[in-house]
């Protein structure tokens, strides 16, 4: 008996040069663009903003990786001061995640701390339009209702999930990814692969997402190395952005699993980028996935051209090595005596129990030890 629910309220627009049409998607004429300092200084954000002729456009460009609640509050203040009617998040996951909460807070009051991480207030219905424009091919944040923020007071990074965060428009322009350096292409692209496989083997998986996830994995395997080797390859860049999008839609319905749960301490405590922190455990999680999803993983292996789960895991690991990605925790500076702690923090994220294998202190520590 198949039962599922599927919800995708965001308009999705993908195409080379599509950001030139940004103006047709905005509401009102006061627009706050949120991005990181690099995108602003390089002129890329302003080139996109230049499509909003006749509008009052303001830029908040102090977004750091793993954005803090303090950055969110500062951006929300900028949105209120402008009287923003549309918030546009341009960038990787950080800028898009901040744009989600800022589009809510702009028309509401208070701090993110009032609503999240122990806060007791509930966000009012969002009145400000939200548009997300990814500049990497990986996070999928443009098509999810999740924002991940870092509570510096508690030293933790936690997801914030609300239907208010579905962007009104996800605008994907592959041209924006041409300038990504190879290491970012690799880590963000493998993040997309993690989204796809975690949607697929998820205990909450469902047929629509399965179909999207398998295609996303096929596209990553077919194009990531070409995008890594030649950033100007139009085909590889476009297909990687499509892969990221499909994977994003897939995991937006199912959420992720152990790979993302364990990535949180690797990012906050070891400084690994999100994509690196996720993909470093990917081969190990593939190896144990047969425990609860053997038949489904057999079908996946067949669809992707592998004979077995171990062969699939080895191929993914070899692909990562070919792109100079770390595959051992020790390469991030993790030592043996920290494994129990990393497992404990990972187990603190509820999504870890969506993994198709027994996840407890003993099994997660053993998994981490296998890739030390
Ligand atoms: Fe991710």
What does 33-82 look like in DSSP terms, one character per residue? EE--HHHHHTTHHHHHHTT-TTSEEEEE--PPSS-BHHHHHHHHHHHHHH
Please report which confidence band the pLDDT of residue 121 belongs to, taking 50, 70 and 90 as the band edges: very high
pLDDT at residue 1 tops 80: no
Q: How many angstroms is it from 83 CA to the middle of ligand 1?
A: 32
Backbone phi, then psi, for 32, in 5-degree steps? -105, 125
Give the bridge partners for 30, in sequence order. Answer: 56
Q: How many angstroms is it from 287 CA to the middle of ligand 1?
A: 20
Q: How many angstroms is it from 195 CA to the middle of ligand 1?
A: 6
Structure token digits, residue 310: 């171990």
- 304 Cβ contact list (under 8 Å, min separation 6): 214, 217, 218, 221, 312
Question: Are 329 and 269 a contacting pair, CB within 8 Å?
Answer: no
Q: How many angstroms is it from 55 CA to the middle of ligand 1?
A: 34
Q: How many angstroms is it from 308 CA to the middle of ligand 1?
A: 25
Digit-coded pLDDT (tens) for 255-274: 999 999 999 999 989 999 99
Strand pairing of 156-161 and 146-151? antiparallel
pLDDT at residue 118 tops 90: no
Q: How many angstroms is it from 187 CA to the middle of ligand 1?
A: 10
Digit-coded pLDDT (tens) for 158-209: 889 999 999 999 999 999 999 999 999 999 999 999 999 999 999 999 999 9
Q: What is the mean pLDDT of residues 342-348?
A: 97
Q: How many angstroms is it from 292 CA to the middle of ligand 1?
A: 22
Dihedral angle computed from the Cα positions of residues 165, 168, 173 and 178, in that order, rounded to the nearest 10 degrees: -20
Q: How many angstroms is it from 56 CA to the middle of ligand 1?
A: 33
Q: What is the mean pLDDT of residues 306-311?
A: 98
SS3 content of the chain, % helix, strand, coil (to 5): 55, 10, 35
Q: How many angstroms is it from 50 CA to the middle of ligand 1?
A: 30
Q: How many angstroms is it from 271 CA to the middle of ligand 1?
A: 15
> What is the three-class DSSP state of 88?
strand
Q: How many angstroms is it from 190 CA to the middle of ligand 1?
A: 9
- What is the predicted pLDDT for the residue at 41? 97
pTM: 0.95
Q: How many angstroms is it from 353 CA to the middle of ligand 1?
A: 17
Q: How many angstroms is it from 148 CA to the middle of ligand 1?
A: 10
- 53 Cβ contact list (under 8 Å, min separation 6): 23
Q: How many angstroms is it from 266 CA to the middle of ligand 1?
A: 13
Which of 319, 335, 227, 327 lies closest to 276 in space, CA to CA?
A: 327
Q: How many angstroms is it from 262 CA to the middle of ligand 1?
A: 11
Q: How many angstroms is it from 124 CA to the middle of ligand 1?
A: 27
Class for the domain spanning 11-175: alpha beta
Could you tell me where in the chain the CATH 1.20.1090.10 domains are found?
182-370
**Is 3.20.20.80 the CATH classification of the domain at 182-370?**
no
Q: Which residues of 341-365 are buried (b: 16+ CB within 10 A; e: fewer)?
A: ebbebbbebebbebbbbebeeebbb
Q: How many angstroms is it from 82 CA to the middle of ligand 1?
A: 32
Q: How many angstroms is it from 293 CA to the middle of ligand 1?
A: 21
Digit-coded pLDDT (tens) for 25-64: 999 999 999 999 999 999 999 999 999 999 999 999 999 9
Q: How many angstroms is it from 1 CA to the middle of ligand 1?
A: 30
Q: How many angstroms is it from 302 CA to the middle of ligand 1?
A: 25
pLDDT at residue 340 tops 80: yes
Cα 370 to Cα 372: distance, rounded to the nearest angstrom: 6
Q: How many angstroms is it from 299 CA to the middle of ligand 1?
A: 24
Give the bridge partners for 65, in sequence order. Answer: none
Cα 203 to Cα 205: distance, rounded to the nearest angstrom: 6
């Amino acid at each position: 008996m198949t039962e599922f629910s599927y919800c995708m309220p965001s308009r999705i627009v993908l195409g080379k040069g599509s950001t030139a049409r940004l103006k047709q998607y905005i509401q009102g004429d006061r627009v706050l663009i949120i991005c990181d300092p690099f995108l602003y200084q390089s002129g890329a954000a302003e080139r996109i903003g230049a499509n909003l002729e006749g509008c009052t456009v303001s830029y908040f460009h102090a977004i750091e990786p793993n954005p803090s609640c303090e950055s969110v509050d500062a951006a929300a203040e900028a949105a209120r001061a402008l009287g923003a009617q549309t918030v546009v998040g341009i960038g990787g996951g950080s800028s898009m995640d901040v744009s989600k909460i800022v589009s809510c807070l702009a028309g509401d009051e208070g701090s993110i701390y009032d609503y999240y991480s122990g806060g007791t207030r509930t966000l009012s219905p969002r009145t400000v339009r939200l548009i997300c424009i990814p500049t990497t091919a990986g996070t999928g944040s443009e098509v999810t209702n999740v924002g991940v923020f870092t509570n510096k007071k508690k030293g933790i990074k936690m997801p914030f999930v609300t239907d208010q965060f579905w962007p009104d428009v996800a605008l994907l322009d592959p041209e924006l990814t041409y300038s990504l350096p190879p290491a970012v292409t690799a880590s963000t692209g493998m993040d997309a692969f993690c989204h796809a496989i975690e949607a697929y083997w998820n205990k909450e998986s469902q047929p629509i997402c399965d179909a999207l996830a398998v295609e996303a994995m096929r596209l990553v395997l077919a194009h990531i190395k070409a995008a890594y080797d030649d950033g100007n390859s139009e085909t590889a860049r476009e297909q990687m952005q499509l892969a990221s999008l499909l994977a994003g839609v897939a995991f937006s319905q199912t959420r992720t699993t152990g790979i993302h749960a364990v990535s949180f301490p690797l990012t906050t405590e070891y400084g690994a980028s999100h994509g690196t922190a996720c993909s470093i455990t990917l081969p190990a999680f593939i190896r144990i996935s047969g425990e609860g999803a053997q038949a489904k993983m057999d079908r996946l292996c067949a669809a992707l051209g592998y004979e077995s789960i171990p062969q699939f895991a080895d191929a993914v690991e070899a692909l990562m090595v070919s792109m100079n990605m770390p595959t051992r925790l020790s390469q991030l500076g993790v030592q043996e005596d920290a494994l129990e702690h990393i497992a404990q923090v990972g187990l603190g994220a509820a999504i870890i129990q969506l993994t198709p294998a027994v996840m407890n202190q003993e099994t997660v520590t053993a998994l981490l030890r296998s890739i030390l």
